Structure 1
Amino acid sequence: MLSYLEGGAGTPVVLVHGNFASKEWWRELLQEPPKGAWLLAPDLPGFGESPAPEDFIPSIPAYAAALRAFLQEKGLEDAILVGHSLGGAVAMEATSEKTRGLVLINSAPPSGLKTPEAYYPILESYRYNREALAQALAAMAPTRRPPWFSELVERAQRMHPTHFQGNARALAEWRLERVYPGPVLVVHGAMDSLVTRAMAEETAAFFPRGKLLGLENIGHSVNLENPGLLKGILEDFLKEVHGEVPGGG
C-alpha cells in the first residue's frame, strides 16, 4: 500500500508526483482543494514514505502498476489522474477504460524524455550533495517555492538509491503504446527549463481529446509555484468531465 495524503470531498482525483518529489509537493492544493474534488496524493514506490525493494529497478510500467494497485485497493479505478513531470508518464501509463480524465502538468511526452548521458553523474551526485540538489529543485519552481522547501529537498535526497539515475533512464526508455480516449488537459508553464512547449504540443496532439493550456510566468511546477491557479484549472476540468453524458467516453 502506498503512503498518501488526502483532502476535500467529491469526485476522486489522484495526484501523481514527479521525480525527486513526493506527495508533499501537493500539500497546499490538499489544504485548499478544488470544489467538488476528493484529492489523494500517493508516494510512488521508493519516494517519500512508500518503500521499494532493495533491488527495485525504476520503470514507468512498474510505477504505473503500483498506482493501479493503489486505485484498486481504494476502489478508485474511475478517478481522474493528475500527473506532474515523471508522474505524467506514470498517469498516462496507468489509465484504463474506467479513467474519467487525465491532467498532465509539464509532463514528459508520450515519446519519452531523453537525458544526455553526461548528466547522469550529476544526478547521482545529488545523493550526497544537498546544496546542488536544492539548486536543481529550485530551478523546477523558478517563480515561487513554499516555506517548507527545505523539507522537499530532504525528502528528495532520501529517495531509493536506484532512483537518482534510474528514473531518468526509465523516462528515456519509455514509450506510451495505448492511447487514452477520454478528456486530456495538458498544462505547460512557459518558463519551464525541462519540458519544452513543443513537447507539450506533442503530448496534447497524441490524444484524440487532448487540449493544451499554456501558463505564462510559471515554470515546471505550478503545484508549488501557484497552487491557487492549479485549483481553478482543476475545477474547470471537473466541470468539463461532469458535463459529459455518462458512458460517453
Structure 2
Amino acid sequence: MGTGVDVLEAGAGPPVVLLHSSVSGNRQWTALVNDLRDRHRVLAPNLLGYGATPPFAEPRPQRLADQAALVHAVLDGVDEPVALVGHSFGGAVAMRAAVELGDRVRALVLLEPNPVALLDRVGRRDAFAEACALRDHVQRHGTAGTWADAAPRFADYWLGDGSWDAMPDSRRAAFVAALPPNRHEWDAVTDPEMTVDDVAPQGVPTLVVHDPATRRPIREVVEVLAAVRPDWRFATLPEGGHMAPLVRPDLVTPVVTSFLAAS
C-alpha cells in the first residue's frame, strides 16, 4: 500500500479511493465505506499528518502533488480503473490526482472542493481574499504554536457560526490536535502557479456536489468549475453546509453511490 501511508481498506470489487477533508481523517467516511464495501474495494488513506501518515516536512510550501503522491502509493499494484471521491481539501487532492492518473480514472466525485487559487486566476478576488484571510489566521497561529487560538475561527467558518462554543471540551481538544496539518494545506490550495488544467481533468466523468448556502469561496469555486468544465455534472444538497459528508452522510452517500454506479 505504499510505505508510510496509513490507509483503511475494506471490501472487494472496482477500487474507490476516498480522500478526507482538513482537520478530519479517513474515519469521516464510515457511512460511505459501509455502503460501498459490498461492491467496491475501498481505499481511504489518511492524508499527510493525519493518523499514522507522516506529516509534511519539506522546507518549502506544500503542493497538491505532495498529497496526490499518497494516492499513487495506495494504488500501487492496482491495475483496474479507479474512482476518486474527495471532500473539501481532499477534493482538491482528488482533482490533482485525477490529472496525474489520466485514463486510469473512471469517475471523480468532488464534495465542496477547495482549490481556491483558481479564484485568483479568474479575477474573483473578493472570494479569494476571504479564503486567504482564514489561511493567514491559521498560519500566523501555526507559526506561533498557538493552535488553540486558531481553532475557534476555523471551526466557526467551516462548521457554522457558533460551532466552537457548542463543542464539548473533549471535541475541542481533538479539533485543536488535528489542526496543524492545515497550515501546509493552505499553501497547496492557494498555490499561485495553479491552473485549471492542473486540477480539472478533461474526459473523466465528474460530479461536483455542494450546498448552495456554503461559504463564498467554495460556492465560487463551483461556479468557476461549471464554467470551465461544462461537461461535468453538478448537484446541490438541500442542507448540511460544507461539512455535509460528516454531519449529513444520509444526504451525501446516496448521491455518491448512485453516480459511481452509473459510471
What is the number of residues matched between the two proteins?
Answer: 236
- Segments of 5+ residues of structure 1 without an aligned counterpart are 242-249
Amino acid at match of 1:105: L
Q: State the alpha-carbon separation in 2 of the partners of residues 146 and 33 from structure 1.
A: 31
**Percent identity over paired residues:** 28
**Quick one: which of 108, 114, 118 aligns to 2:114?**
108
Question: Does residue 1:172 correspond to 2:187, yes or no?
Answer: no
SS of the counterpart of 2:241? coil
The reply to whether residue 23 of structure 1 matches residue 38 of structure 2 is: no
Segments of 4+ moved more than 6 angstroms: 143-148
Q: Secondary structure at the match of 2:190?
A: helix
Equivalent residue for 2:90, pick from 65, 87, 90: 87
CA distance in structure 2 between the aligned counterparts of 1:146 and 1:13, rounded to whole angstroms: 33
Give the superposed CA RMSD: 3.2
Secondary structure at the counterpart of residue 55 of structure 1? coil
Q: Which amino acid aligns with 2:33?
A: L
- 1:246 is aligned to none
Would you tell me which structure has more helix in proportion to its own residues?
2
Measured against aligned partners, the alpha-carbon deviations of 1:152-193 in whole angstroms (never above 9, x if no partner) come to 514423x34xx41x3222212222425331210000112212
Residue in 2 aligned with 1:62? 66
Change (3 A) 1:149 1:12: farther
User: Where in structure 2 are the equivalents of 1:91-240 lying within 5 Å?
Assistant: 91-95=94-98, 96-109=102-115, 112=118, 114-115=128-129, 118-124=133-139, 125=141, 127-130=145-148, 132-134=150-152, 136-142=154-160, 149-150=171-172, 153-157=175-179, 159-160=180-181, 163-164=182-183, 166-173=184-191, 174-177=194-197, 179-207=201-229, 209-240=231-262
Segment of structure 1 superposing worse, 222-231 or 170-179: 170-179
Counterparts of 1:25 and 1:44 in 2: how far apart (Å)? 12
TM-score, length of structure 1 as denominator length: 0.79
Contact 2:226 2:232 in 1 (8 A): yes
Distance 1:207 1:110 in 2: 16
Residues 79-99 of structure 1, C-alpha deviations (whole Å, 9 max, x = no match): 110111122221111112110
CA contact (8 A) 1:110 1:176 kept: no
SS state of the match for residue 16, structure 2? strand
